[in-house]
Every structure is written in C-alpha cells, then in structure tokens.
C-alpha cells in the first residue's frame, strides 16, 4: 500500500467546510483512496472512497488531483459531531478471502470542530 501523509491536526469552525488533505505521491494506478474516521471511543467509520474521479456521498466529498498524488476530503458543513481522527488510506482492492484485506491506520488528522 502506498504511504500517505496527513497533517497531525486541524481546526474548523462549526458550519464551515472542513478540507482535510492527504498526500499519496507514490500511489499506483490500481490503488484506491479510502477515508475513514474515528470518533473518540467509537469504532472507525467508513466515509468515502475513489479511484480517480471526484466522489460525493451524503457524508462528504472526495477530490482527487489529476495526477492522483494527493486528495482532499471535504466535509461541507462541519458540526461538533465531526470532531474525530480522520484517516486516509491508499490500497489495491483485495477481493475474496484474504487477511491481506486487514486495515492499518497511520496517525491520521485530528479534526477539532469548535463552536
């Protein structure tokens, strides 16, 4: 899996957009970008994923640069409940039954949303 780099922490005002960057300059052509988050004392939560096109779902938008070396997760209207650690992961698809599908998180970005 390609290595990712994220800022250790970010702040955001409630109601504003939170833009969380992720650098993955060694990404290969068949690797997807996945974002998860973990709210304190809860299990990780999948947010969104993409290959090369921008993606949007009910939680967030994912913008992937044309060269795919970086991406940005956008929470359009951050709330206090979005305070969490956000993890960017890059990996090939591990279909079928294999423990290589296990997940590992880096340090992530601690996003603090304040009133």
Partner 1 sequence: DVKVTQSSRYLVKRTGEKVFLECVQDMDHENMFWYRQDPGLGLRLIYFSYDVKMKEKGDIPEGYSVSREKKERFSLILESASTNQTSMYLCASRPGTSGPWGAKNIQYFGAGTRLSVL
> Which residues here bind partner 1, judged by CB under 8 A?
32, 34, 41-46, 49-51, 91, 93-99, 101-106
* Smallest separation (angstroms) from partner 1 to the CB of 32: 5
Residue 96 and residue 34 in contact, taking contact as beta carbons nearer than 8 Å: no
Residue 41 or 67 with smaller CB distance to partner 1: 41
How far apart, in whole angstroms, are the C-alpha atoms of residue 16 and residue 28?
A: 33
Q: What strands, in cross-sheet order, belong to the sheet with 109-114?
A: 9-13, 109-114, 84-92, 31-38, 45-50
Identity of the residue, 12 or 88, whose beta carbon is nearer to partner 1 in the bound complex? 88
Specify the residue for token string 């994220």. Answer: 6
Nearer to partner 1, 80 or 93 (CB): 93
Least distance in angstroms from the C-beta of 70 to partner 1: 18
């Amino acid at each position: 899996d390609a290595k990712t780099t994220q800022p250790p922490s970010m702040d955001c005002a409630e109601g504003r957009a939170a833009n969380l960057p992720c650098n993955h300059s060694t990404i290969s052509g068949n690797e997807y970008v996945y974002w998860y988050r973990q709210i304190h004392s809860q299990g990780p939560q999948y947010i969104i994923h993409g290959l090369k096109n921008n993606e949007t779902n009910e939680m967030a938008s994912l913008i992937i640069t044309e060269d795919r070396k970086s991406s940005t997760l956008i929470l359009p209207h951050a709330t206090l409940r979005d305070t969490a650690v956000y993890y960017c992961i890059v990996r090939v698809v591990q279909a079928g039954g294999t423990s290589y599908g296990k997940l590992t998180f880096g340090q992530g970005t601690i996003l603090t949303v304040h009133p």
